[in-house]
Amino acid sequence: MRWIADDPDPATRDELTKVLAAAMGRVPGAVEDLQERMAGVLRFGTAGLRGPVRAGPAGMNVAVVRRATAGLAAWLARGGARGLVVVGRDARHGSEAFAAAAAEVLAGAGFRVEVLPGPLPTPLLAFAVQSLGAVAGVQITASHNPPADNGYKVYLADGAQLAPPSDAEIEAAITAAPPAINVPTSAGSGTVDVTEPYLERVAALPRGHVKALRVALTPMHGVGGATAVQALARAGFTDVHVVRSQAAPDPDFPTVAFPNPEEPGATDELLALAADVGADLAVALDPDADRCALAVPHDGGWRMLSGDETGVLLGDHLLRSGGYTDPLVATTVVSSSMLRAVAAGYGARFAETLTGFKWIVRGGPGLVFGYEEALGYCVDPDAVRDKDGIAAAVLACDLAAGLKAAGRGLQERLDELFVAHGVHRTEGVSLRMEPAARDAAVARLLATPPEGWSAERPAPDVLVLRRAGERLVVRPSGTEPKLKAYLEVVEPVAEAGSLDAAKAAAQGRLDALRAETKALLGT
């Protein structure tokens, strides 16, 4: 009853009142529903908040957003930051109301607040923070989560996502915040549109002058479609075909079971369109357009590139184009090690970081490119210090157009890199395990590494096992009762003529490593 009384939103007050009445009336499932909603507040981690849109402290709603923003404002004020904060949003359920709530609390706390006009891609918010000299940015988005979810992502003055200990400090400030109904608010926010300068910046990314490329594109019911088409057109790529059924933002994501390009079946409509129009490249953005997946023609059909394959291709393209002084490229400990080899070939520096762009973009001075295997690519860190699916798509089209003019494709370029640096095969495996069992499995491997493997622990929740030409990274999921394993094998290519044999050998070793991994983890 206390939470209901302190909720400033009549809609969620009424929702929770009905859930409480149903629970008291012993309606089947109502007690469990109430327990879930009241189990505790959403945790504020390095990705901010994320959870189902529903009433109660364990959901995304106006009351939770008000208290989270009050905590953020108090934390910023303690650090002496009282300048501009930019607020953006996607088109998910609740996003407009949550963005308005965040802006009102920030204005009420004495900050100058500018709100992006309408639902826009997350990279525009990250761009706005840097380009406008803001002290922070808030984006309301759940990225590629299921339709029922929403989230709250924070960027700091350097344009990057939160990194420890800031997340814990902000969470403590949220805990100390007053009830939502008592948080001061003000309607004194303005509107700012950074679309034009963002498009100008992205349009300048291509290294080549060839623009003859047919592209199939889907924004997957998200907010990236219009901006992506404009960005590609500005860069000279005008032969773009968009999946019609997925072109407009739709918070229900009706044509996909799960709005994530990595999920099986999510790109079926894109690949059908690519085949129908005879595209040279297919591009899938996730719903907030910070991730990008590519597909290429292959053996008479289409093949989705892995995040590692795309990351290596884009990193190689940027380094090969030149123009940098002592450049640095970075990826994570769970991504392919091939980028390290590519960087060495160009005399560039390389950094291996912990998982997440909060670490990648802080990999060191001179960063020109960073990626993670989960389809995230930072191709212009000076403008967007985070993953940017739209900028990555423009750069991928630049690479594909240049290769097409030379009678080749992305697969052929990838094969050339395999010949030069070895065939790198990677795979992710998720094993459902309760927290106690997964923690015990990691502790056992760390205490007694399997024979022939060396073990290291770059972070408390990350275990890395290595042996000649193979690597296994194990870490618990931060959101689910799962243990995640990331496998990599590297098979040298003695000469170009043995590439097919090397690919087959690499796949065989990967299959064996997968079986060994499951045995090691006791599943």
> What are the E-state strand segments in 206-274?
215-218, 240-242
430 is catalytic: no
**SS3 at position 135:** coil
Task: Say how far apart CA 173 and CA 496 lie, in whole Å.
Answer: 59
Could you tell me which residues are beta bridge partners of residue 214? Answer: none
30 touches 23 (CB < 8 A): yes
What six digits make up the tokens of 36? 């879930």
411 touches 390 (CB < 8 A): no
> Of the listed 131, 143, 335, 336, which one is catalytic?
143
Task: Say how far apart CA 269 and CA 246 lie, in whole Å.
Answer: 9
DSSP state of 365: T
> What are the E-state strand segments in 166-322?
190-191, 215-218, 240-242, 281-285, 292-298, 301-304
Task: Say how far apart CA 294 and CA 213 lie, in whole Å.
Answer: 14
Angle of helix 62-78 relative to helix 95-108, nearest 10 degrees, comes to 40
Radius of gyration of the chain (CA): 24
Task: Say how far apart CA 60 and CA 95 lie, in whole Å.
Answer: 10
Residue 5 CB neighbour total at 10 angstroms: 9
**Active-site residue numbers?**
143
